[in-house]
Each structure stands twice: as C-alpha cells, then as structure tokens.
Amino acid sequence: MSDFEKLKKIMKKRLKKSRYLHTLGVVEMAVKLAKVHHIDEKNAALAALLHDYGKNLGKNDMLLAIKKYNIPVDEVSAKSMSLLHGEVGAELVCEDLGICDPDVLNAIRYHTYGRVGMSALEKLIYISDAIEPGRDYPGVKELRALANESLDKALKVAVSDSISFVVAKGHSLHLNTITLWNDIVING
C-alpha cells in the first residue's frame, strides 16, 4: 500500500462518512486544479486529504490542543472554536503523521478563513474545499469554471461568497477573512 493509501485509511477512520467523502472530493478537485495551474500535485493531494484532520475533535480536545500548541484564540474563534480546526489540524498532522512541509501545513492551517499572502497551494486548497464535486449551492458551477481559468479570480468569488454566507447567518467574521477580502479588492 502506498503512503497515500495509508493516509486515506487514517482519514477514513478519523472522519465521519460524509466528511470523508467530502475529503475525497477535495483531493479530486485539488489534483485536477494543480495540473491546470502547474502546482505540485503531490502536495496538493496531501494537503487536500489532510485539510480536515482537526475537524473531528470535540470542544475539550480542541481546547487542549490550542493550549498545547499555543494557538492564539481571537474573539471570533473563542465564540466558534471549530474555526480553529485548520490551525489545530496543521499541528496534529505534523506531530501525528510526521508531515511537516510548511506549505502543506499552511494550506491546512488557513483553509477555513484564509489569510493575506496565501501561497498558490493555500489558494488551491481553499478553493477546492469550496467547489469539490459534492458541493451544491447557487453559483458553484460557475465558480468551478472560474477556478480552471484563474485561482485568483476564483479566490475572490469564494471569499466573497463565504463572507455573504456567514453574514447572512448572522455570525461574526474571522479577521483574516476580512483582511484577505480588503487585500484582494485593494491590491487585486
């Protein structure tokens, strides 16, 4: 069994079925887009497979991990701890699996709320998470087509959609996402 197949087994055990299927969808999309945009396919597949590694943790385990790894908790994340599943997941992937490539870890770390200055791989995972084949919402088809054309154009729409969605639900926005949006608008 290849290392990747072993990691798939680990994720299958770790995640509930629907999230595991979502994860396979993200892998499929990330590899496809990596080919189109000349991004390292191996890193794309790896980051996609592991992006929700921190997602199955309960509140208590999240708090323990946050303490252990000194993850800063802002006002928004304090209210919805699951926002930090990327930060926690990145730390755990390195510690549990020995996969510590900084770009792969950052793609995991920032897949939920993004950040200014995302690498190509970080953008790829953020977008693939939003448009994997299992996603179904108004505009997702158009966003898939846009992602084939340009990761930056797709990122702009994906961030805008995500902000609209969060605001419509009456939730607070993570500062990274607001800052990322402003940076995209101001600096293109």
Chain residues binding Fe ion by CB under 5 A are 52, 129
Kindly tell me which of 1 and 155 has the beta carbon lying closer to Fe ion: 155
User: By C-beta, is 129 or 146 nearer to Fe ion?
Assistant: 129
Task: Tell me how far CA of residue 29 lies from CA of 11, 34, 35, 49, 116, in angstroms.
Answer: 17, 8, 10, 11, 23
Least distance from C-beta 187 to Fe ion, angstroms?
Answer: 26
31, 41 contact by CB (below 8 A): yes
Q: How far is the CB of 108 from Fe ion (least distance, A)?
A: 9
52 vs 122 by CB, closer to Fe ion: 52
Give whichever of 38 and 169 is closer to Fe ion, judged by the CB atom.
169
Longest dimension (CA), the chain: 48
CB of 86 to Fe ion, least distance (A): 6
Structure tokens at 56: 């199955």
Cα 104–45–91 angle (5° rounding)? 30
Please, what is the minimum distance in Å from the beta carbon of residue 47 to Fe ion?
11
Q: Which of 33, 157, 154, 51 is nearest to 105 (CA)?
A: 51
Q: Amino acid identity, residue 144?
A: R
